[in-house]
């Protein structure tokens, strides 16, 4: 059965995404450009238990103010340098990579909001590849 993010989880993801990818000069905020419509498709093979935990975590984040989200994101980020193999730092490290993966996949990507009309993050970093298929 396909995974499906709840509306609450999407609100949480946009808040987290705006911390990872804020409005910054040419760069749009994550919530402006994110390919939310692609999320279910991008998580189709995530194991159900992992997806449920992620969906719940994002839904909880939706209730937090920006300052708390920033603190959480920084805490997850710092866990990468923590040598401890305890359950909390291990979980933080996985959240750090899991959330960044989800956000970047719908930001530094072709899979963005089709309604967005500005310069996309891929255009801003000037990423272009040629495919000669014949």
Partner 1 sequence: MSNKIYDFIVVGSGSGGGSLAYYLNKSGAKVLLLEAGKFYRKNTFPKTEAETSANLYWGGGIEFGKDGKMGFLRTRLVGGSSIVYQCLMDRFDDNAFDAWKDESGVDWFSNATMDAHYNQIERDMQLHTFTASERNRNANLFTEACDKLGYKWSDLRRGQSDCAHDRGNDCIGCLGGCFRDSKQSSLVAFVQKAEKEGLEIITDTEIHKVEPNSNTCKIHGIQNGQKVSFEGTKVILSGGAFGTTRMMSMSGFKSKLPALGKKFASHPQFMWLGFQNEPVDAHKLAFQTVASKDPNFRKEGFKLENVFAPPISIGMLMNVTGKKHQDYMKKYRYMQCIEVAVRDENVGEIQCDNNGKLTIIKPLTDQDKTRRDKGLAAIKNILQTAGANEVFESNFYFGLHLMGGCVMGTDSDKSVVNPEFNVHGEKTLYIADSSIYPNAPGINPGLTIKALSHRLSTQLLK
State the residues that interact with partner 1 by CB under 8 A. 19-22, 24, 27, 38, 41-47, 50, 73-74, 77, 79-81, 85, 89-94, 96-97, 100-101, 104-106, 108-111, 121-122, 124-127, 129-133
| Residue number with CB closer to partner 1 (7 or 131) | 131
d(CA 88, CA 68): 18
Share in percent of the chain as helix, strand, coil (round to 5): 55, 5, 40
- Minimum CB distance to partner 1, residue 63 (Å): 21
d(CA 106, CA 103): 6
Burial class (CB in 10 A: 0-12, 13-18, 19+), 132: exposed
- Minimum CB distance to partner 1, residue 43 (Å): 6
- State the maximum Cα–Cα separation within the chain, in Å, rounded to a whole number: 52
- Minimum CB distance to partner 1, residue 59 (Å): 19
- Minimum CB distance to partner 1, residue 8 (Å): 21
């Amino acid at each position: 059965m396909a995974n499906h993010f709840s509306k609450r989880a999407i609100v949480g993801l946009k808040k987290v995404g705006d911390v990872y990818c804020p409005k910054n000069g040419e760069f749009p905020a994550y919530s402006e450009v994110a390919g939310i419509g692609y999320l279910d498709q991008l998580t189709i093979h995530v194991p159900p238990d992992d997806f449920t935990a992620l969906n719940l975590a994002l839904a909880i984040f939706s209730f937090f103010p920006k300052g708390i989200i920033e603190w959480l994101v920084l805490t997850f980020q710092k866990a990468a340098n923590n040598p401890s193999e305890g359950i909390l730092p291990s979980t933080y490290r996985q959240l750090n990579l899991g959330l960044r993966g989800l956000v970047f996949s719908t930001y530094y990507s072709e899979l963005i909001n089709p309604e967005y009309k500005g310069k996309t993050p891929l255009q801003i970093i000037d990423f272009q590849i040629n495919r000669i298929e014949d």
